Amino acid sequence: MYTEKEEHHVLKPKSLHSFLAAFAFATGVSTGALAADTITIGVAGAHSGDLASYGLPTVKATELVVNDINEQGGINGMQLKMLAEDDVCKPEIATNTATKLVSENVNVVIGHICSGATKAALPIYRDANIIVMSPSATNPDLTQSGDYPNFYRTIASDDLQARTMVDFVTDKLHAQKVAIIHDKGDYGKGLAEFAKTFIEQAGKIEVVLFEGVTPGAVDYSSVVQKIKRSKADAVIYGGYHPEASKIVSQMRKKRLETAFLGPDGVKDDTFIKVAGANAEGVYATGPADVSQNPLTKKYRQKFIDQEGTDPGAFFNNAVAAALALTSAIEKAGSTDSEAIANALHNETAETPFGAIKFDASGEPIGIGFIMYQVKNGEYVQVQ
Amino acid sequence: MVPGIVAFTGKFFPHSFTLLRNVADIMDFFEPDYFIELLFSGLTKGAIYALIALGYTMVYGIIGLINFAHGEIYMIGAFTALIVSTVLSIYGFPLLAIFILAAVAAVVWASAYGYTIERLAYRPLRNAPRLSPLISAIGMSIFLQNYVLLAQTSDFQPFPALVPDFAFMEPVAHIVGSTDLVILVVSVIVMILLTVMIKFTRTGKAMRATAQDKKMALLVGINVDNVISITFITGSALAAIGGLLIASHVGQINFYIGFIAGIKAFTAAVLGGIGSIPGAVLGSFILGLTESFATGYVSSDYEDVFAFSLLVLILIFRPAGLLGKSTIEKV
């Protein structure tokens, strides 16, 4: 209680300070002692502006987890406190946000929301040796560059779908030759390029065709003939479902039964509706269904009780970040960044996605994509 | 003698053998089966473009207006066919009956749209500067897209295969499908019928007279308004047939399909000489074949680059298009 009051008063004009000091003295509590007894979790992200709907669910998720833990007596006897700072998803503002949080002596940070803002803010946290965990920044570089050892995330990185598809094609389908087709867009082409890189790095199988198609075209039969001539065992497609259903349909019409794999843009019921019988047997990656997980249900219900609406974007990821961080602090028994990092890498935490921990680069183990296949008109998980 | 020559050339031109091997590679590259597959892909594409391009070129030939709403008429034809065929298949009609009734409904409905568009958006602007009806056409196109978006849906809808898989096509199904064959045949038949109509019927004569000189046509007793209406109705009917056949081929429709198909068909019409009926078909086939071979032998990334480079090249040497009549502007 005092903490909260003081927090407010500190921001008020100087005349209040003497009163505050007297108050603190009288109650026998000093600010310094308080700081040692609380763990401050910074929450940074877009809390206003165009992208506020991406950032606000994270604030709410952290608040729910923090209140939950405080009600149960806190972590190792210490109460949790949340400090939210807005970065509007802008890199130039995110550096200010980070500086502010560092100067407020936060112990860990949940955020930022957008990859660009996260990238701008990370060096500031790194220099202050503060652990940062984003529920939503998916840019592969953030972990893979090795520049930010203090960075973790509870969302799969952009290239993970490509990796899931490549692993599946190599290990499960035992394909030797793969054709990669994309729709020339950011999403599709990015994915296709990741898939190509992964296949070439592994060196086990061969990319026999890498082509972009024009979305909206009335006919893809020449590309289909090209796939046929390449003698590919599998087609990896980067793009959305309208083109995927046209290409698959034309492949089947040309009596080409090559396996077809799409990303989550294809794992859409419209795809099955439109491609009909031709959709049968098509593979697509998608996130695992976590709606039945007890933690998912619990926090979703809490959110609905308080806000009256469904939780928004990245809510589960944010709950997972808050739970993973608090559990790591508890297991580490201190707020020392190295101890927390150690716990994050070695101890699992229960989250809406199940038990997760983090690999050396900061990627979550246990949050990712799984393979689905169309069987009898619906997507079922491939065992 | 021959080994001697080979040894001789080998001595002085050590690369001649690799050169020979490269020639063999190139022969392999153009492997005949693959060539034929690409040829038919290109012809199918061309026939699809032709079905839409014919309507473009006809309207342009008669009143000199690029009817940008033509792609939307094609889309509305496809939607009408979808709705009618869905209803009929619920009542268990046989496929042939569904095909015919859906085609009739699409033709009637799309023609009504074509007629109405002309009355509302183009006729009041007939004596306005040339740019005004053009802008009006673009406006009509945007209006119709959004109208269908709101009245129907923004989602892709599955379109039933109204052309069955013919048993006699099975041996060549990997090269050309049944729907492709129907599209090819229909586009050629439509081209012939249109040419005959314009060359030999009274309506056709009236159309040509209107195209040559509207005022003169009026003076000799031709109802120019009616002729223009008939032109729009015919063009829209063609677009509707195209909509039905192409949607059967593609298997899905949404409110936006008319735009890209329309742009490609318009390009084909310009390539062949806008205003010319055989030109539209020729231009469509050239465009389709270029795209197909560019995809097959180079990369589909550059399909459009090749198609439009060809357009530019042809327009440099024949500004009126391949079969277009070059008219001398009187100043």
What residue segments make up the domains of chain B, in order of their start? 33-317
- Which chain B residues have a beta carbon less than 8 Å from that of A229? 31, 34
How much is the pLDDT for A23? Answer: 46
Whether A34 shows a pLDDT value over 50: the answer reads no
Out of A372-376, B9-13, B191-195, B240-244, pick the least confident. Answer: B9-13
ipTM: 0.84
Whether B3 shows a pLDDT value over 60: the answer reads no
Q: What mean pLDDT do residues B195-218 have?
A: 91
Task: Please tell me the total number of residues recorded for chain A in this structure.
Answer: 383
Q: What mean pLDDT do residues A268-297 have?
A: 91
Percent of chain A residues topping a pLDDT of 70: 91
**Rounded alpha-carbon distances, angstroms, from residue B286 to A37, A213, B49, B122:** 78, 20, 10, 31
- Which chain A residues have a beta carbon less than 8 Å from that of B52? none
Which helix (DSSP H) or strand (DSSP E) does residue B252 occupy? strand B252-253
In chain A, the domains with their CATH numbers are: 2-155+292-365 (3.40.50.2300), 160-281 (3.40.50.2300)
Q: What mean pLDDT do residues A59-80 have?
A: 93
Which of these CATH numbers, 3.40.50, 3.30.565, 2.30.110, 1.10.3470, describes B33-317? Answer: 1.10.3470
Percent of chain A residues topping a pLDDT of 90: 69
Q: How far is B86 from chain A (nearest CA, A)?
A: 14
- Which chain B residues have a beta carbon less than 8 Å from that of A225? 34, 37-38, 41, 296
Q: A312: pLDDT confidence band, cut at 50, 70 and 90?
A: confident
B260 → closest Cβ in A216, A246, A256: A216
Q: How far is B42 from chain A (nearest CA, A)?
A: 8
Q: How far is A211 from chain B (nearest CA, A)?
A: 6
Whether B34 shows a pLDDT value over 80: the answer reads yes
CB atoms A218 and B246 under 8 Å = yes
How much is the pLDDT for B275? Answer: 86
Q: A19: pLDDT confidence band, cut at 50, 70 and 90?
A: very low
Give the best residue of B43, B156, B287 to mutate against chain A (max A CB count within 10 A): B156
Closest CA to B239 of B187, B277, B282: B187
pLDDT per residue over B42-100, tens digit each?
999 999 999 999 989 988 888 888 899 999 999 999 999 999 999 999 999 999 999 99
Cβ proximity of A263 and A181 under 8 Å: no
Whether A29 shows a pLDDT value over 80: the answer reads no
Q: What mean pLDDT do residues B192-220 have?
A: 91
CB atoms B301 and A184 under 8 Å = yes
Out of B10-19, B23-32, B122-131, B235-244, pick the least confident. Answer: B10-19
How much is the pLDDT for A371? Answer: 94
Q: What is the CA radius of gyration of chain A?
A: 24
Q: How far is B64 from chain A (nearest CA, A)?
A: 27
pTM, to two decimals: 0.79
Whether A36 shows a pLDDT value over 70: the answer reads no
How much is the pLDDT for B177? Answer: 87
Cβ proximity of A113 and A98 under 8 Å: no
Q: What mean pLDDT do residues B209-232 have?
A: 92
Whether A6 shows a pLDDT value over 70: the answer reads no
Which tokens in the block code for residue B146? Answer: 């959004």
- Which chain B residues have a beta carbon less than 8 Å from that of A221? 40-41, 44-45, 180, 292
pLDDT per residue over A166-224, tens digit each?
999 999 999 999 999 999 988 899 999 999 999 999 999 999 999 999 888 888 999 99
Beta-carbon pairs below 8 A across chains A and B: 96
Which helix (DSSP H) or strand (DSSP E) does residue B173 occupy? none
Cβ proximity of B210 and B228 under 8 Å: yes
CA distance A58 to A112: 10
CA distance A97 to A117: 10
For CA atoms B68, B71, B74, B78, the dihedral sign is negative
Whether A85 shows a pLDDT value over 50: the answer reads yes
SS (H, E, C) chain A: CHHHHHHHHHCCCCHHHHHHHHHHHHHCCCHHHHHHHEEEEEEEECCCCCCHHHHHHHHHHHHHHHHHHHHCCCECCEEEEEEEEECCCCHHHHHHHHHHHHHCCCCEEECCCCHHHHHHHHHHHHHCCCEEEECCCCCCHHHHCCCCCCEEECCCCCCHHHHHHHHHHHHHCCCCEEEEEECCCHHHHHHHHHHHHHHHHHCCCEEEEEEECCCCCCCCHHHHHHHHHHCCCEEEEECCHHHHHHHHHHHHHCCCCCEEEECCCCCCHHHHHHHHHHHCCCEEEEECCCCCCHHHHHHHHHHHHHHCCCCCCCHHHHHHHHHHHHHHHHHHCCCCHHHHHHHHHHCCEEECCEEEEECCCCCEECCCEEEEEEECCEEEECC
How much is the pLDDT for A215? Answer: 87
Percent of chain B residues topping a pLDDT of 90: 56
Query: A229: nearest CA in chain B?
Result: B34
How much is the pLDDT for B81? Answer: 96
Q: What mean pLDDT do residues B110-135 have?
A: 93
pLDDT per residue over B100-112, tens digit each?
999 999 999 999 9
In the Cβ-directed half-sphere of A97, how many Cα atoms lie within 13 Å? 29
Q: What are the backbone dihedrals phi and psi of residue B157, each rounded to the nearest 5 degrees, phi first?
A: -110, 140
The residue that leads in pLDDT, A238 or A18, is: A238
Average predicted confidence (pLDDT) for chain B = 87
- The answer, yes or no, to whether the previous bond of A112 is cis (omega within 30 of 0) is yes
Cβ proximity of A363 and A154 under 8 Å: no
Both ends of chain B: CA-CA distance in Å?
71
Long-range contacts from A93-102, C-beta under 8 angstroms, 24+ separation: A93/A117, A94/A44, A94/A118, A94/A120, A94/A121, A95/A120, A95/A121, A95/A124, A97/A44, A97/A121, A98/A44, A98/A122, A98/A124, A98/A125, A99/A124, A101/A42, A101/A44, A101/A125, A101/A130, A102/A128, A102/A130
Cβ proximity of A117 and A90 under 8 Å: yes
How much is the pLDDT for B63? Answer: 84
Average predicted confidence (pLDDT) for chain A = 88
The residue that leads in pLDDT, A35 or B212, is: B212
CA distance A236 to A177: 11
B156 → closest Cβ in A255, A256, A274: A274
How much is the pLDDT for B283? Answer: 94
Q: What mean pLDDT do residues A346-359 have?
A: 93
pLDDT per residue over B231-258, tens digit each?
999 999 999 999 999 999 999 999 999 9
The residue that leads in pLDDT, B307 or A101, is: A101
pLDDT per residue over B263-295, tens digit each?
899 999 999 998 888 999 999 999 999 999 999
